[in-house]
Amino acid sequence: MKGIVADCLKKLVAENFGIEKWTKIMKMSGLNPDKSYAITDDVDDELILKLFDNTCQVSGLSFEQACDVFGKYWVGSYIPKRYPDFYTDVKSVKEFLLKLDNIHSTMTKRLENAKPPKHSYKWKNENTLMMGYESNRDLIELFIGAVKGAARYFEDEIAVRKINRQEVEIDFIL
């Protein structure tokens, strides 16, 4: 994964739980607590997952809860500050999600070695989207957290249901 994920997790933990908790998480992960990650750094997927697991231990959150908190912060705070152009002319969670695969394509051009997930879209009906998630990382929970975070950011109501490890159903509630 890219260092942007580790940097976001650090900021999230520091702001919500305190920097001393991040120091503890880093030590539990076998890392120097003063280590920082640049957004362009290539970071081993297993290390990122270890940071998430240790964040769960320190915070008392389940993995799914941590993914929801991360998704809310990622989409609602971290990314809008770094990449405000991704939100230009986007007025709803539906518009944002339909733009997500293009955003990820842009990121692969901006960040060397970036491998964000790819998405597919199939409408079940006018208010229900079947959204595919294709990634070697198998982090559908993190994707669901980001979808929920996008809904919170745009103040839209949705219901998300995991169909399997590669697909979610999203109901846009009017």
Question: What's the rounded mean pLDDT across residues 50-56?
Answer: 97
Task: Count the helix, strand and coil residues of the chain and give each as a percent rounded to the nearest 5.
Answer: 55, 20, 25
DSSP per position, 27-95: HHTTS-TT----TT-B--HHHHHHHHHHHHHHHT--HHHHHHHHHHHIIIIIHHHH-GGGGTT--SHHH
- The string over 41-80, giving b where at least 16 C-beta atoms fall within 10 Å of a residue's C-beta and e elsewhere, is bebeeeebbbbbebbbebbebebeebbbbbbbbbbbbbbe
Rounded Cα distance between 52 and 58, Å, is 10
CA distances from 88 to 99, 140, 148 (A): 11, 26, 19
Q: Indicate yes or no: pTM above 0.85.
A: yes
Instruction: Report yes or no: 37 and 43 within 8 Å, Cβ to Cβ.
Output: yes
- Mean of all residue pLDDT scores within the chain: 94
Cα radius of gyration rounded to whole Å, the chain: 16
Tens-place pLDDT, residues 114-128: 888 999 999 999 999
Is residue 53 scored above 90 in pLDDT? yes
At residue 106, does pLDDT exceed 90?
A: no
Please, what is the Cα angle at 135 between 42 and 52, to 5 degrees?
Answer: 55
Beta partners for residue 170, in sequence order: 129, 160
Q: What is the pLDDT of residue 146?
A: 96
Segment 27-31 shows an average pLDDT of 97
Give the pLDDT confidence score for residue 107 in this predicted structure.
83
Query: What backbone phi and psi angles, to 5 degrees, belong to 33?
Result: -60, -20
Give the model's confidence band at 134: pLDDT under 50 very low, under 70 low, under 90 confident, else very high.
very high
What pLDDT, on a 0 to 100 scale, did the predictor assign at position 119?
94
| pLDDT tens by residue, 151-171 | 999 999 999 999 999 999 999
* Phi, psi at 163, each rounded to 5°: -85, -50
Name the pLDDT band for 35 (thresholds 50, 70, 90).
Answer: very high
Residue 174 predicted with pLDDT over 80: no
